[in-house]
Structure 1
Amino acid sequence: RHLPLKYALQEYGNDRDKLLELLSTVYLAAKESDLLPHLLESGEIFHPLGWGPAEAYTFLREVPLYEKSGVLCRIPNWWTAQSAGAKVSVNIGTAAPTFVGMNAILNCTPSLSINGVPIRPEEAEQLLRQSEGLALIKNKWVAVDHEKLRQTLEAYERTRELLEDGELTLREALALQLTPEKLAAEAQADVDIGVSYGEWLQDVTHKLRNPNLVPEVAPAKTFRAALRPYQQAGLNWLGFLDGLGFGACLADDMGLGKTVQILAFLSVKKQDHATSLLVVPASLIANWSSEIDKFYPDLTYCIAHPGHLGNAPLTENGEADLSQYDLVITTYAMAQRYEVLNTFHWDCIILDEAQAIKNR
């Protein structure tokens, strides 16, 4: 069992061998300690002591030495639970952007902290002017390492300059989560720089990692197919990513109804009066036309291909009012030949057998 040294002396005061055994651990620790030799010599170690921040800091730093020597130390939780010193944090995407997509502009705010306690740059400067050791910050004692704090403050200033406008694109925000050190490329290797997501961006990324949390999307009432659960999940996923302005890859196995899922998605897009482009191998044009007529005949479409120009009088350099259609179907070859297909602003571009685009 372990007892405070004062009580051990009272209990074993008449047992010289036991006292020597108890004190041997203290003398062993004193050989490498900066604090214990004076306390042993003066006898103060046998009485309660009141220390200032400097002595307390020395004691706390030497705790591993004491415990290695066999002395059990009871220390405050805030010391054992403290984080790894000074840190630069950047919080991104607290509020939803005015528009979505990879180029959406997100708000971002850099901040400083020491052992998890937020501080202002002015407070960090003040700490650097004080002696190194323990400092009371916002009613919490924290350990201050001047050199690390100085490096962290420099990294904070560089980060603040990089984020001078207080804005990042969504693409940049997602990249920074993977490589936060790019915020301060010249920072020392041991400077801790972290990126955290605000409420809006955290919600988005959480759903990206957990598709089952994505809100359900309902096809148009005139859509004629009853979606199976996995097809409904695919529609939900397409709707969620489209709402963010992201692209999507629908990669279900052959025969599981990818076409039906796309048509259900287009039935939702029709409500926005949007025109989409579908690019397919020529051999699949008839199949798509048949599936549209079967599952969603309300979808207005034309086929931009020399063999199917009856309902779309297009020429390679001609103009056409494509906005009157919900969907324009063409092939990979014709997509390059019809100039109007390249200049028209499509709400959505869908690639069937998308591997065909690899070398185009």
Structure 2
Amino acid sequence: MHVKRVYRPTVREALAEVRAQLGPDALVLSTELVPAPGWRGWLGTRVVRLTAAAERPEPLVETPPSTPIETPDLSAPRTPVTSRRHRSPDDSARAGVTARLVAAGLPASLAEAVTARLTDAECRGGSDRALRRALSAELEPLSGAPADYERCEIFVGPPGVGKTTTIAKIAAQERVRHRRALNLVSADGFRAGAIEQLRSYAEVLAVPFRAARSAEELQAALTHARNPILVDTPGRSAADGEATRMFEVLCQRRHVRTHLVLAADTSAPVARRVFDRYAPLAPARVVITKLDECESVTPLLSVVREQGLPVSYLTTGQRIPDDLWRATPASLAAALLREPATEDYSCH
């Protein structure tokens, strides 16, 4: 029995979400009116929490009003807040907003920076729009959403983080929304079924596909592609003997952008080891996947901040072409505030 909880503004929306995820035969167990998760709760917002079940051998999953993402630890040295905005020591409203943001899960440095961007009137009023605007501005350095594709977009990372599915989502969104066919290349001949999985996506999307089981086949696939190429790589480090020649072919090409793909629940120590392992490939962007399975993305974003790399895409769930957004300041803010992303946040 698979049990799922969803949080939505109304019962109708909660029922629609449950049926979309569990099917029309889902059994409603309970409905409750509860404070909204995150910072919206302390502003007095209340939502419907609906618990439902369906026959499916999966564990309990909670779905808050949007992507269950916590806040990044932006504790790196930064310009003091007082140098960007004069603050009165007696400004209790401003101090109260900062304290409430910290209580809602934001690190003190980020909470202070966000509050510093608000006017005194906005602090007293607690405007949702003002908070989103201020948070978006603070998250801008983490935004690395690409304006267009390089000749070759390479996706690297440990096994099981969602590289293949991410590539399929990007290609599907481009095909559906812009009628543009991107070339898909699978160089992951080490994982059983990896090539067949990406090939099946390419067939459904009617886009060019090449399988590369050797360095020579990879070189040929990259040379003959006419459109931008999305390359799925094996979940092995650049130092792995089996994959070394593959990565050498990729690193020697021009107009290449490498995305390091990491699951949102990756711990800080593991993330640092992954960055070290893939450092020879010189990743220029980070893709954060499986946000819907993450209790807190703070540890991972702290390491991303340390590495000085921007985030290119955010993903949640397995739906294609959905569940993928460009990591714009607005989409990052929406995720951190537990608000649903909109079409404005999706790819290109």
The alignment's TM-score, normalised by the length of structure 2, stands at: 0.20
Bigger relative contact order, structure 1 or 2, given CA contacts below 8 A and separation 6+? 2
More helix by share: 1
Q: Greater CA radius of gyration, 1 or 2?
A: 1
